[in-house]
Each structure stands twice: as structure tokens, then as C-alpha cells.
Structure 1
Amino acid sequence: MREIKTIVTTAGRPDDVSMALAAFACNELGAFFEPRKKRSIRKISEEHQAHVIVAGKNRFEYYALGTNEPFFFHPNSAAFRLKRVARGEEEPFLEAAQLEIGDSLLDCTLGLAADAMLAAYTVGGKGRVVGLEANPNVAFIVKQGVQTYDTTELPLTACMRHIEVVQDEATRYLKKLPDKSFDVVYMDPMFEEIIDEATNFEALRIAGEHASLTDEWVCEAKRVAKKRVVLKAHFRSEWFAKYQFQRYERLTAKFHYGVMNTSN
């Protein structure tokens, strides 16, 4: 199958800033630049049969070939989840991960980095959070987002600056790591079943990689995790039983967390 190329263009009325951002994206992604020339993104994508990265004044957007809606970075649910944590309220992901100040977490499926932000907030400046994203375009968008998003109105999301975004596939990256090199390894594969309420993830679902949990992935995660492996999956998933995760059931939620302790 022919690999679909990626091209970079600007917003409808480019200025010096967006042109500079477009040049930066071309360099980072090894993509070529296509002048906008008043064309729609859909037309540019169809003419070149390519994915399109748009360099705007305030953000980058990614249009996968054949889609109308862009994927772009936003703190999404992390902002209000962090506020709840700051108030001392329960947070299911953090309950499962049991992170402590100074811990390290490897997020194998970064997505929009919401869980990684909670992890970074919890482990603090002395801790470490690394997030993996297999799709180069999605990794680029999220990496730029966590590094440059204006957090002045969302002070709790400043922790996003501590997230290290790595473009790589989870199992391949895990194989490169020494035993027990992260305290916690977290896996949140794309759900086997669509969750109707999760419409804000639709652009990511279309643009991102769709990885399924495998024996090799779980085995490598167990080897790398010093304390525990955490899995997030649909409540009907067979993965919890198949891989012997201790499930944290949530009666009103359509996804659950599972934990596998590796410290023994």
C-alpha cells in the first residue's frame, strides 16, 4: 500500500508568522510546502492526495486525507480534571496509577495528553512523563501544543510543559528500554467499541493510529514497569481477564482501568 504523504500550507491569509511556522513544520516533518492560493484545505488535500498540516497564527491543525474536521491540540478534559484533583477529589486514572512525587510514567498512547498532564501534575518537577504517539503528524501537533499552548488562563495545565513527546510505536519503543526503567507504564489503546459520548475524540480517532493490545505489548510493558502497568479499556473488554489485570470497576462509566503490579 502506498504511504500517504503529508504537505504543509498556511491559513487563508498567511502572514510572516504563519509562513515561519509552516517552514518549521516542513523541517520537522520532512514535508514540502504548498501555497494556499485561496483554495480550501479539502481541495488541496484531494489535488495532492495527501494529509495536510495547516500553520495558523495560533496553532497547527492536521487534516487527514478525506476528512473535513481538523485535529488540533487543546487541554480538553485535563483542565477540569486537574481542578478536581487540586480540590482533593478522586480521579480514577490517578487512583489506578498510584503515582508519587518523583515517579516516572510512560504513556504508550498519548492522544491529547490529558492523562499525561494529570501524571505530570502528580509526579512534579522531579518526576518524568514520556508520551508515545505512533502517527508522526499527531505527534507533531501534540508536541507543539504541550510546549506552546497559552496556559495563562489555565494555570493548572502548566504541567504540560514537563511532558516529553516521542514519535514511536509503543511495542517498538518499549523494546529499546532497560528492565524496570519506568515506575508505571500506561496503555490506553483505541477502544474496541465506539463510545457515543466521546465526540471530542472523533478527530483523533480518524487521524491517529489504531493499535490493538497484543501479547508482546503487554509482555514488554511488564518488563519495563518497576511498580505497575495500568490499562484503560471499554468495560466490555476481554483484555482485563485475558491479561489478568485487576479491574477497577466504575458503575457509571463505559471504560474501566485495570492494574497489574510488577514490583514483586
Structure 2
Amino acid sequence: MCRLTIVTTAGRPDDASLQLADFARNELEAEIVPRQKRSVKNLADNYDANVIVAGKNRYEYYAKGADAPFFFHPNSSAFRLKRVARGEQEPLLTACDLQQGDSFLDCTLGIGSDCLLAAFVVGVQGKVTGLEADRNVAFIVKNGMQTYDTTELPLTACMRNIEVIHADALEFLRQQPSNSYDVVYMDPMFEQVIEESSNFEALRHAGSHIALSAAWVDEAIRVAKKRVVLKAHYQSEWFELYGFKRDIRLTSKFHYGIIQK
């Protein structure tokens, strides 16, 4: 059973905050609850609900019980994009072997950093689709990618060219024709927490924790035209269990696995 989600505003809402709240209400078919000087925790407890706060220029998502909000910000993506633009190696892109014009399906969108890198490489002739199982996370990221104000190029162009879809990855894959995406990518929530990734703790609490399965991998192989790529903790059994060739990175706590078509 899905937990109720309510929408509220910042403590002192202005017209922009009220408009954002109304947009979220329509998109998520959620009830707007007046803030009335109440804390987010108080609202979450009183309504036994997740809370989306419409601030003055962004949304913050407090999953029930979360201490910190999840919100969209492309900081890590901007850093990684600058490195790629300088010609430096990016492990994700090496594993995916993306080319200009390719199509890329990210089955586990999260905050969208990997999709941004993919969008940069495939360009306007390519196609990047990100799936997110949690409806609220999908809403936050989709809205952020379409509205985040940045003068940094190519970051803005990359964000605008990504299609975000709220969907269960396995069900979505089952509906796609065979060989319909060049690369299918999967980055499920790690079975083991990587302590250095503390900035993703809010997402870890808010997002859907879906374990990789044989059915998921089989469908990914069917839909992929070139390769399937898995990102997982270096101690994960998924690589060997599902037949991925591991790209071992001795200095990293996560590895990429590849199934070449």
C-alpha cells in the first residue's frame, strides 16, 4: 500500500510558492495542506504522510520519517560533465561505450546524474530516458531538470533533453520492442551502504529499494541493442549471478558490469 503524499508550502509562502504547490497538487493528485506554522515532521505525523514542500524556487520531498529532504540539484553532474568536457575518462561512459546518436535507458533514475552524462554524449540526435519507480522522486527530478536555472552549458541543454518517466523498470521493459535501446543501464540501490555517498542519504530514504532479478536482467538483454550495464557495490553477487563481465576498479567501492550483445 502506497503512503499518502500531501503538499504544503514554505513557512511564509509567496505567490511563487503557492503556484508551485498548486502545480504539484495537480501533477500528483495530492491534497494541499496549509502550513500554518507547523513543522514538516508535525504534518507528516498528523497525516501519516510523505510531504512535498513547495518553496520559493524549488520542491523538497520529505519521505515519512526522513530527517532531511530530497531535492534536485545537479552539483555532482556538473562536476562530472566538466571532467568529460576536458577529455578525462568517466567510468560510466567507458562501461556504456555510448556514441553520438545512441539511445540510453536508465532503469533507476535517482537524482539523474548518469542520465545527464549520457545526454551529453549522445547529443540532440540521441535519446535518453530515465525511469523512476517512486512517483514523488520522479516528480522532483523531472521538474528540476525542466526548470533548474543554470547558465552552465552544456548542463542546461543536457537536462532539457532527458525524458523522465514514473514507471517500474521491469514492467516498462516488458512493454518495449526488442533491441529498442542501444544501452540499458541499471543502478539499483546498493545492498551495502557506501559511507562516502552521504549526500545521497536523502534519496536512499525516499527512493524505491528494488532488488535486481533474473527477469529484470533478461528483459534488459532483450531490449538492449548493444549492451546492458550494471552498477553495483564491489562485493555484490549480482555480477556473477546474472552473467555480467565485471570492470574491476581497485580504488572504488562500486564496479560496473557489462553484458555485450
Q: TM-score range, shorter-chain basis?
A: over 0.9
Instruction: Find the counterpart in structure 2 of residue 255 from structure 1.
Output: 254
Instruction: Find the counterpart in structure 1 of residue 192 from structure 2.
Output: 193
Instruction: Find the counterpart in structure 2 of residue 170 from structure 1.
Output: 169
Counterpart-to-counterpart distance in 2, 1:166 and 1:47:
31
- Look up the SS of the partner of 2:80 in the other structure: helix
Counterpart-to-counterpart distance in 1, 2:235 and 2:134:
27
Counterpart-to-counterpart distance in 2, 1:150 and 1:249:
37
Counterpart-to-counterpart distance in 1, 2:50 and 2:63:
5
State the one-letter code of the partner of 1:25: A
The answer to whether the 8 A contact 1:179-1:225 is kept is yes
Is 1:243 the counterpart of 2:242? The answer is yes
Is 1:227 the counterpart of 2:226? The answer is yes
Counterpart-to-counterpart distance in 2, 1:4 and 1:242:
33
Counterpart-to-counterpart distance in 1, 2:172 and 2:138:
14
Any residues of structure 2 matched to 1:36-55 within 5 Å, and which? 36-55=35-54
Instruction: Find the counterpart in structure 1 of residue 108 from structure 2.
Output: 109
Instruction: Find the counterpart in structure 2 of residue 83 from structure 1.
Output: 82
Q: 1:66 deviation in Å?
A: 1.2
CA-to-partner distance for each residue in 1:66-90, whole Å, 9 max, x for gaps?
A: 1121000011311111101001000
The answer to whether the 8 A contact 2:16-2:57 is kept is no
User: Which ranges of 4 or more aligned residues in structure 1 deviate by more than 2 Å?
Assistant: none
The count of corresponding residues between Structure 1 and Structure 2 is 260
Q: 1:191 deviation in Å?
A: 0.4
Instruction: Find the counterpart in structure 1 of residue 33 from structure 2.
Output: 34
Instruction: Find the counterpart in structure 2 of residue 128 from structure 1.
Output: 127
CA-to-partner distance for each residue in 1:176-220, whole Å, 9 max, x for gaps?
A: 101001000000000010100000110000000001100000000
State the one-letter code of the partner of 1:26: R
Counterpart-to-counterpart distance in 2, 1:3 and 1:142:
20
The answer to whether the 8 A contact 1:83-1:156 is kept is no
Counterpart-to-counterpart distance in 2, 1:137 and 1:221:
25
State the one-letter code of the partner of 1:144: N
Instruction: Find the counterpart in structure 1 of residue 12 from structure 2.
Output: 13
Is 1:143 the counterpart of 2:124? The answer is no
Counterpart-to-counterpart distance in 2, 1:233 and 1:244:
14
Unaligned runs of 5+ in 2: none
Counterpart-to-counterpart distance in 2, 1:3 and 1:259:
34
Q: 1:242 deviation in Å?
A: 1.1
- Look up the SS of the partner of 1:180 in the other structure: coil
Cα RMSD for the two superposed structures: 0.8
**Overall identity of the aligned pairs, in %:** 62
Counterpart-to-counterpart distance in 1, 2:104 and 2:140:
21
State the one-letter code of the partner of 1:12: G
Q: TM-score, normalised by structure 1?
A: 0.97
Counterpart-to-counterpart distance in 1, 2:116 and 2:59:
20
Counterpart-to-counterpart distance in 2, 1:99 and 1:30:
37
Counterpart-to-counterpart distance in 1, 2:127 and 2:74:
19
The answer to whether the 8 A contact 1:22-1:54 is kept is yes
State the one-letter code of the partner of 1:195: I
The answer to whether the 8 A contact 1:102-1:126 is kept is yes
Q: TM-score, normalised by structure 2?
A: 0.98
Instruction: Find the counterpart in structure 2 of residue 214 from structure 1.
Output: 213
Counterpart-to-counterpart distance in 1, 2:22 and 2:80:
35
State the one-letter code of the partner of 1:7: I
Is 1:157 the counterpart of 2:145? The answer is no
The answer to whether the 8 A contact 1:51-1:65 is kept is yes
Counterpart-to-counterpart distance in 2, 1:249 and 1:224:
25
Q: 1:117 deviation in Å?
A: 0.2
Counterpart-to-counterpart distance in 2, 1:102 and 1:224:
17
The answer to whether the 8 A contact 1:246-1:260 is kept is yes
